[in-house]
């Protein structure tokens, strides 16, 4: 079974972590949990 990274919060920080984790290890499964209705939008 592959490795999964779960990120709490889909703002700029969460999206940056997701991108960097995928660059570091493309085989990672990335899951972002966002409590709001939108991810990484510009205020």
Ligand X SMILES: Cc1cc2nc3c(=O)[nH]c(=O)nc-3n(C[C@H](O)[C@H](O)[C@H](O)COP(=O)(O)OP(=O)(O)OC[C@H]3O[C@@H](n4cnc5c(N)ncnc54)[C@H](O)[C@@H]3O)c2cc1C
Instruction: Tell me the three state secondary structure of residue 19.
Output: helix
Q: Nearest approach, Cβ of 33 to ligand X (angstroms)?
A: 5
Beta strands in 1-43 (DSSP E): 4-8, 29-33
Residue 35 makes contact with ligand X by CB under 6 A: yes
By CB under 6 A, the residues from 6 to 25 that bind ligand X are 8-14
Nearer to ligand X, 1 or 6 (CB): 6
Q: Which residues bind ligand X (CB under 6 A)?
A: 8-14, 33-36, 43
């Amino acid at each position: 079974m592959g490795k999964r990274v779960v990120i709490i919060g889909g703002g700029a920080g969460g999206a940056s972590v997701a991108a960097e984790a995928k660059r570091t290890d493309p085989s990672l499964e990335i899951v972002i949990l966002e409590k709001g209705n939108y991810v990484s939008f510009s205020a």
